Amino acid sequence: MSPSTALRPEVPFVEGEDLEAHLAKAGLDAETEAFCRSLAQNGYALIDLGDEARALCDLAVADTDRLFARHPGANRIQDAWLRSKAVRRLAASPKVARMLEAAYGRKAFPFQTLNFLRGSQQGLHPDSIHFHSVPERFMCGVWIALEDVQPEAGPLVYLPGSHRLPVMTMRDAGVNDPRPSPEQYASRFVHGFAERLAAAGLPDERALVKKGWAFVWAANLAHGGAPVTDPASTRRSLVVHWYFENCLYYTPMTSDVEGGRLSLRMPANVATGGWEWPRKAGRAVYPGKTPLLAAILKRVFKPLHISEG
Ligand SMILES: O=C(O)CCC(=O)C(=O)O
């Protein structure tokens, strides 16, 4: 093992038991310390990205509104960073990268973007069933408000503290299948996860995020979109999913975690425009033909996925 590998934490600082001991010797500024404490205690934390980012929000809105205008009824664009410099610059914010590295102890990279025009009204879910890592919990979501969020526009809703619940796998949800599917996610996991949340009895909160601020959630935090009560409202936002270096990256929804069969991913790196190999003990791991081909096609054709939900 190289010295740098030996120094990498196996548990993110903000997900472990020793955060205060770490902060005492890390010499971080007050804003970053507060960010780490909030992420550890609540499973979320806010970052003011500053005035330069607020100007980028306007450019990102102009770019994505043009794309939405070409697809009437659409509410979601996946990977607009491939076509919009402003979306890409916001997604790869150096301030976010710095604060995530301080909080997790490994270098972070953004691997996917989602732009929403209106509230998503998504059901409560943890990202840890969509994207996960080995070692676990080296993943987070960064939700950036491109305009001030109004209460009637379907704000982000989340359950503080739910990140501390055990990570739920497809088998935990009763899917006894070595090759689980998105259909089984919809028919079993969603229900099983809702039951787990009800048993935990955690109250929900809504995020009325101001333009140019980022709401960061831990991989296992339950979150979704509140109902939109004003159908004429917009809620332009940019969700950026981040991973951390030197991990295996995989899709839990189609993996058999307990059986050791992981659907490996070859995530893009939005900051560099390339991709990242999944790694184990510092060594690149072949992810399989499908993810490798998907990564190459993404780089060459820069596909956008524009959809209603
Ligand atoms: O923006 C929202 O309403 C929810 C987004 C979300 O849940 C996600 O991207 O994982």
pLDDT in tens, the chain (309 residues): 444 444 689 999 999 999 999 999 999 999 999 999 999 999 999 999 999 999 999 999 999 999 999 999 999 999 999 999 999 999 999 999 999 999 999 999 999 999 999 999 999 999 999 999 999 999 999 999 999 999 999 999 999 999 999 999 999 999 999 999 999 999 999 999 999 999 999 999 999 999 999 999 999 999 999 999 999 999 999 999 999 999 999 999 999 999 999 999 999 999 999 999 999 999 999 999 999 999 999 888 888 899 988
Residue 120 CA: which ligand 1 atom is closest? 3
End-to-end C-alpha distance for the chain, whole angstroms: 45
Predicted local confidence at residue 208, as pLDDT: 98
Q: Which amino acid is at 69?
A: A
What Å distances lie between residue 72 and 4, 75, 126, 232, 242, CA to CA? Answer: 50, 9, 29, 14, 29
pLDDT, residue 10, reads 96
Rounded CA separation 81/89 (Å): 8
What pLDDT, on the 0 to 100 scale, is given for residue 5?
44
What are 160's two structure tokens?
């503080």
The four Cα atoms 89, 105, 138, 236 give a dihedral, to 10 degrees, of: -30
Q: 165 C-alpha vs ligand 1 centroid, how far in Å?
A: 19
34: tokens are: 């507060």
Determine which residue's CA is closest to atom 9 belonging to ligand 1: 239
Backbone angles phi, psi at 222, to 5 degrees: -75, 125
Looking at the structure of the chain, the number of domains it has is: 1
CA distance 223 to 114: 15
Instruction: Give whole-number Cα distances, 121 to 22, 73, 153, 202, in Å.
Output: 38, 15, 10, 20
Nearest-CA residue for atom 10 of ligand 1: 127
Q: Provide the pLDDT for residue 256.
A: 98
CATH number at residue 168: 2.60.120.620
Mutate which of 75, 78, 122, 147 to test ligand 1's pocket (most atoms within 8 Å of Cβ)?
A: 122
Q: Cβ < 6 Å from ligand 1: which residues?
A: 114, 116, 119-120, 122, 127, 141, 156, 223-225, 237, 239
User: Closest ligand 1 atom, CA of 119?
Assistant: 3
Q: Residue with the nearest Cα to atom 3 of ligand 1?
A: 225
Nearest CA to ligand 1 atom 6: 224
Which pLDDT value is given to residue 7? 65
Measured CA distances, 18 to 5, 45, 98, 146 (Å)? 20, 18, 20, 35
pLDDT of the residue at 309: 81
Of 239, 255, 287, the C-alpha closest to 112 is: 239
E strand intervals along the chain: 44-48, 76-78, 108-116, 132-134, 139-145, 156-158, 205-207, 213-218, 223-225, 237-244, 248-250, 279-280, 283-284, 305-307
Nearest 5°: CA angle at 302, between 296 and 304? 125
| Nearest atom, ligand 1, residue 155 CA | 3
The dihedral built from the CA positions of residue 154, 214, 42 and 17, taken in this order, carries a sign that is: positive
pTM: 0.96
Which atom of ligand 1 approaches the CA of 239 most closely? 9
Q: What's the domain range around 143?
A: 3-307
Distance of CA 142 to the CA centre of its chain: 6
Dist. CA 245–CA 109, nearest whole Å: 7
Pocket test for ligand 1, best of 223, 228, 233, 308 (most atoms within 8 A of CB): 223
